[in-house]
Structure formats: structure tokens, C-alpha cells
Amino acid sequence: MVQAIEWKSDHVKIIDQTELPIRTVYSEITTIEQIFEAIQKLRVRGAPLIGISAAYGLYLGMRDVQAASPDDFFVELDKKIDYLSKSRPTAVNLFWALQRIKDQLQAVTDQSTNDLKERLLRLAIELHEDDFQRCKQMGEHGLEVIPDGARILTHCNTGALATGGIGTALGVIYTAHQAGKNITVYADETRPLLQGARLTMWELMQAGIPSKLLCDNMAASLMQQKMVDLVILGSDRIAANGAVANKIGTYGVAILAKHHNVPFYVAAPLSTVDLDAASGDDIPIENRASHEVSKVFQQCQIAPDDADCWNPAFDVTPPDLVTGIITEKGILYPPYTENIRNAFDK
Ligand code: MRU
């Protein structure tokens, strides 16, 4: 399975996802600024992968810092965390990863600044490995909602290209396929940046999973014709009440699923849950450049010159449209406020 990001003794190696599926281009990243740019430009993307990238970026930013004392080290660390926090606003895994590393570093007492730097790298690698395990566990838990013969609709990309492991929603799909379930996946193209067409289809075809690509506006008809047994997709931030922020278009799919009585599952690790966000209203939604809508990949113009476009990258699906949330601790069902909290206590 493809690895979206790898630590290579003194640099980070990524697949530049803006080049897929036409070319498989690997980039070597050696600075925090390059990580920032890679996150912002979606060279690395997907909530868990953004968090992992930021963790490595923090190390790259700190490794050459000359701090006279641990206190100075932490002043610099806060500056780098602030900087990376501005790369993208919605995926809470970014903020979660940076905070987790800071907390773990602060727990280390009586260490030289060099020790702190070494520890920071180890923590970034551990965070990466931790996501690998969470993906595996989500895959195993998710098996129980995938019947043999299931026809599954998904949106955006939630696989190995979006995480440090097999993926969230796509991880469940891989696990079901490997368990011998005879599944078919329908992948929404996911306008405007086409993560479904470019990335999900690329992953599914490499894995040999029967799959069909559709334009986003075809999902309603697909469901009306009873060609979908369940929806499964990922999330960038889940509020404490179970509201799910995910790639723009997810909310529409959720409404369609409700109308057609199709189960709607979200697969996400608990690192995607933001207990500080009481509801979807507290989730910041990223607005991206107009040209992403009017010019496909800045190449093919599909709207009049200078057309002004609305381009929110995410939307919020209210909890009453979500059948269940597949996490590494098991599948959570309503009432979400209570069951999400319990999952953290497990
Ligand atoms: O803008 P992107 O490509 O980073 O958006 C990604 C998504 O919306 C995914 O569905 C989400 O991060 C879950 S990935 C495991």
C-alpha cells in the first residue's frame, strides 16, 4: 500500500498529491516552510495526514533552533506551532497533533535542548505510527456494518493518501475487501479539487477493488435506483454533539441517504473529535480561492474570465443524519454527546 509520508533519517518524503493520478511525484521536504506550503497547497491532505505532516514540520522547524535553555526552546516551539496552525483551519488533527507533541515534550523534565529536539522527532514518529494503528482498528470495527455484496458510496479521499495507515472510510473498505467481502465502491468525483476522481479511484484501482466513478450530481439518481447499500466517508472535525465537518458535498450526500433510507457512516479516529466544539457552528470552515472552481487545476477555464466563485472546502452534517461513527474504539451511535464522551473515557 502506498505511503503518503515517510520520515527518512533527515527529511520527510511525501507523494505530491497535486500531481496524482497523472504522475507519481515524490518530494523531499527539509524545512517547516515547505511543510506549511505542502499542507496549504494540498500536496499532503486529509485530516490525519495533515496532523502527521505538521508533527514532522515542527521537528524540521526546531532542529536548528539555538535555544539557550529549555524555556527558550518552548518559546520558539510556540512560535512554530502558531505558524503551522495557520496552514489550514478545519482539520482538527492539525491542532491536536501539535498540542499533543507540546504536552508530551513539556512532561519531559531536566532535559537539554538537544534532548528535547531528539524527543520531538521520536514523538512525531510515534504519532505517525499511532495513526497507522488507529486506521487498522477502525477497519476491523467497520467490518460489522459492511454486508457481503455491499454497494458503497464514498466521497472525497480517505485512504492511505489521507492518513498514516490504510485510511479511515477507505480503510474500512480495504479491510472488508481483504476479508473476502464482495463489495463495489462508488466514488463521488468530489468537485472542485477532485479528490474522489484523482485519489480515491487511484487507490481503489491499485487495490483491485471493483469501483465506479460518478460526478457528484449523480449520487441522487444512484440512490433512487437502489444502487447504494450504505455510505461511508471520513471527517475533518467532529463536534462534541456528533456534527461532522467533511469535504464539501458531504451534507448533500447525507440528506440523500436519509431520504432514500440508506445508512450513512462516518469513519474517523478520536483525534478528529473536537470536544471544545459543542456543535457544528463552532467548526471553522476553510474558504479557498475562487479559481479552484472556475479553472480546473488552474489549467482548464470553465467559467467566464474573473467569475467570482463560492468555494467552501467543507460542510457540516448535523448529527441526526449520521447513522454511526466508526472509531478506533468501536462504532458510536446516538446519542452522540454521551457516547462520544464515553469513548474518550474507554
Ligand atoms: O481538502 P482535503 O482533501 O484535505 O479534504 C479531505 C477530506 O475531506 C477527508 O474526507 C477527511 O480529511 C477525512 S480523511 C481520512
Report the residue among 90, 96, 157 best suited for mutation to probe ligand 1: largest number of ligand atoms under 8 A from its CB. 157
Residues 160 and 92 in one domain: no
Residues 154 and 131 in one domain: no
Q: Give pLDDT, residue 298.
A: 79
Residues 193 and 297 in one domain: yes
* CATH code assigned at 67: 1.20.120.420
Q: Give pLDDT, residue 193.
A: 98
Q: What is the pLDDT of residues 109-124, one digit of tens each?
A: 788 999 999 999 999 9
Q: What is the pLDDT of residues 8-46, one digit of tens each?
A: 999 999 999 999 999 999 999 999 999 999 999 999 999
Residues 245 and 293 in one domain: yes
Instruction: Give, in order, the Cα–Cα distances in Å from 38 to each of 66, 104, 240, 268.
Output: 25, 25, 29, 23
* CATH code assigned at 264: 3.40.50.10470
Instruction: Tell me, using a 6 A CB cutoff, whether residue 158 lines ligand 1.
Output: yes
Residues 109 and 149 in one domain: no
Q: Which of 136, 168, 186 is the last residue of a domain?
A: 136
pTM tops 0.75 = yes
Q: Give pLDDT, residue 94.
A: 98
Residues 174 and 313 in one domain: yes
Residues 132 and 152 in one domain: no
CA of 214 to the centre of ligand 1 (A): 18
Q: Give pLDDT, residue 149.
A: 98
Residues 324 and 251 in one domain: yes
Q: Give pLDDT, residue 297.
A: 82
Domain count, the chain: 2
Residues 189 and 280 in one domain: yes
Q: Give pLDDT, residue 110.
A: 80
Residue 150: partners with Cβ closer than 8 Å, 6 or more residues away: 176, 181, 183, 184, 229, 230
Residues 104 and 194 in one domain: no
Residues 201 and 274 in one domain: yes
Instruction: Tell me, using a 6 A CB cutoff, whether residue 234 lines ligand 1.
Output: yes
Q: Which of 101, 136, 171 is the last residue of a domain?
A: 136
Residues lower than pLDDT 70 in the chain: none
| Nearest one of 291, 237, 240, 308 to 269, comparing CA atoms | 237
Which contacts qualify for 289-294: CB closer than 8 Å, 24 or more apart? 292/192, 292/193, 293/191, 293/192
Domain that holds residue 46: 5-136
Residue 164's Cα: distance from chain center in Å?
10
CA of 246 to the centre of ligand 1 (A): 7
Q: How, if at all, do strands 184-188 and 244-247 pair? A: unpaired
Please identify, by atom number, the ligand 1 atom nearest to the C-alpha of residue 167: 15
Instruction: Tell me, using a 6 A CB cutoff, whether residue 156 lines ligand 1.
Output: yes
Residues 58 and 152 in one domain: no
Q: Which of 85, 108, 136 is the last residue of a domain?
A: 136
